[in-house]
Amino acid sequence: MVKYFSCSGFLKSSWDQVFLAFWQRYPNPYSNHVLTEDIIFREVTPDNCLMSRRLLTKTSRAPRWAERFLPAHMAQKAYIIEDSVVDPQGRTMTTLTWNITHARVMSVEERCVYKVNPENSSWTEIEREAWISSKLYGLSKAVQEFGLARFKSNVTKTMKGFEFTLAKMQGETPSRTLAETATVKARETALAAKVKAKDLASQAQKKQYV
C-alpha cells in the first residue's frame, strides 16, 4: 500500500528567476541535510527541452526503531536521484526525485511541476506530489506515517530555501533563518531576565535598609 500526498504553493518571483534559483539553491541555511550534488547526465532535446539527472547525497537519520534494519554506514546517509525536464517555451519545469538507498525500508518518490501562476504572471506556482511506501512487514504503516511527516517538514524547508536563494539573487537581504531568529529571541529573553533579576536584587537591598 502506498501513501499519497499532494500540495501546491507559489513563490513571489518569476518563472525565469525560480528556474535559475533551482540550480543555485544549495547550499542555503535550510538545506544543511544536503551534503553533495553532482550532475551525471544533461542534454538538450530536439524540441529544445533541457533534460538533466543529478545525484544528491543527504543526511537521513532514521528513527531508532528502524536503524536495526539498516547497515551502520547507511543509517544516516541517503542517495537521491533527481530527474528534471525544463521546457523554456512552455515555461514549465518538471522534476522527479526518488531515493536509491533504504528503498526497502522506505521509498519516497516526488514529482514537482513549476509553472507560471495563472493569476499572476510574475509569480511561480509549484504543484507537488509524493508517493511513500515501505516493504517492512508489520511496520509499513508506521514507516509511511514517519515518512509523510518528514516529507511535509522538508517541503517547508525547501520553500524557505528557495526564498532565501531568490532574495540573494535579487540583491535583497535574506530574512533571518529559524535558527538565527531563535538565537536572537533567546538573547533577548536572557537579557530581559537579567535586567529583571537586577531590579529584584536592588529592591531586596532597599528593603534591608528600610
86: Cβ contacts below 8 Å, ≥ 6 apart: 19, 49, 50, 51, 52, 92, 93
93: Cβ contacts below 8 Å, ≥ 6 apart: 15, 18, 19, 22, 84, 85, 86, 87, 113, 114, 115
What long-range pairs does 68-72 form, CB within 8 A, spacing at least 24?
A: 69/104, 69/105, 69/136, 70/102, 70/105
Task: Report the alpha-carbon distance of residue 15 to residue 38 in Å, rounded.
Answer: 24
Q: What percentage of the chain exceeds 90 in pLDDT?
A: 63
Between 189 and 143, the more confident residue is 143
What average pLDDT does the segment 22-45 reach? Answer: 94
Q: Is the pLDDT of residue 64 over 80?
A: no
Question: Residue 53, CB half-sphere, CA atoms under 13 Å: how many?
Answer: 6
Task: Report the alpha-carbon distance of residue 100 to residue 186 in Å, rounded.
Answer: 40
H-type alpha helices, the chain = 15-24, 64-67, 140-169, 178-209
> pTM for the complete prediction?
0.78
- The reported pLDDT for the residue numbered 73 is 57
Q: Which of 63, 80, 83, 135 is nearest to 105 (CA)?
A: 135
Q: Which of 25, 44, 131 is nearest to 87 (CA)?
A: 44
What average pLDDT does the segment 141-169 reach? Answer: 94
Task: Report the alpha-carbon distance of residue 25 to residue 19 in Å, rounded.
Answer: 10
- The reported pLDDT for the residue numbered 189 is 58
CA 48 to chain centre: 29
Q: Is the pLDDT of residue 45 over 50?
A: yes
- The reported pLDDT for the residue numbered 59 is 87
